[in-house]
Structure formats: C-alpha cells, structure tokens
Amino acid sequence: MAALATAVNILGMLFLAHAVYSAYEHSLLPSSSTPTAASYILPQALDPKVNLPLDITLETLFSVFLLCAGVVLSSPELKPIQWNVWAGRLERSKEAREIKEVGVGGGNPYAGLEERAGFLDIRAASRGFEEWRQQQDGGKIES
C-alpha cells in the first residue's frame, strides 16, 4: 500500500508541476495579455488577469485530487475514538509491554499518572489520619 501511495504522490506532483509550468507559459503568450471582461461576481482585486485554458485548469484539479488521494493512502491506520478500546489494544500489544527507557512503555498508558512523584492518594491519607486519631483517642470515636 505504501508503494501505491508513493506512486500516486509522485504522479500528482508531476502533473502539478506540468500544470504550473503550462500556466506560466500561457501567461507569457501575447494573446493572453489582452484584458479580459470584468467579472460581476468577483471583486476587482480577485478578478484573474489571465484566462487559463480548460485543459490547464483540469490538469491542475486532477493533480490536486491525486495528491489528496496519495496523502490519504499513505496515512497511518486511525486509532479508535473510545479511550478504553485504545488502551485495551495498547495493553495487549507486545511492544507496549516492553520498557524501552525509564518512564516509557510498560503496558497501561495511564500507569504513569498513578505512579508519579507527588501524587497524593486522598483516601489512603484519610484512612491513615483516622487510624492516628483513633490511637490518640484511645479507640474512642467522637461525633
């Protein structure tokens, strides 16, 4: 699939280069320098000064279509939209379980959030405080 995408991109670039060169050569012709009729739809600043022949216009559009198709064909596979599906696939893959460097890899993509330095587990801290308070009060719980 990558070879097909590369071939389509190269073909699209060749067609686009030829269309640009043809448009440039056409603009140098003496017959193309005659003023064109003013457009009632476009403002004067956007009105083209040179009318390109239909074949150059179609070649340009075809080359842009080929380039768009080549870019789409060469793009990587899309990831699932749902995070749990993506994380499940990642945990099941062998490459994700391999630790390549410190802090990278290891299966669960969210494990780094729970194991980071400075992460405070409020429930464990409140249980510890409750145990400390009970020890201080001699086992009495006051309301």
pTM of the model: 0.52
Q: Kindly give the confidence (pLDDT) of every residue in the chain, 143 residues in length, as a single tens digit, with 9 standing for 90 and above.
A: 789 999 999 999 999 999 999 999 998 887 765 666 777 777 877 777 778 889 999 999 999 999 999 999 999 887 667 777 777 777 677 666 665 665 555 555 666 666 666 666 777 778 888 888 888 887 555 55
Residues 66 and 85: their CA atoms lie apart, in Å, by 33
How far CA 140 is from CA of 59, 72, 114, 137, in Å, comes to 88, 69, 34, 5
**What does the domain layout of the chain look like in residue ranges?**
2-74
Residues 59 and 76: their CA atoms lie apart, in Å, by 28
pLDDT in tens, 98-127: 656 655 555 556 666 666 666 667 777 788
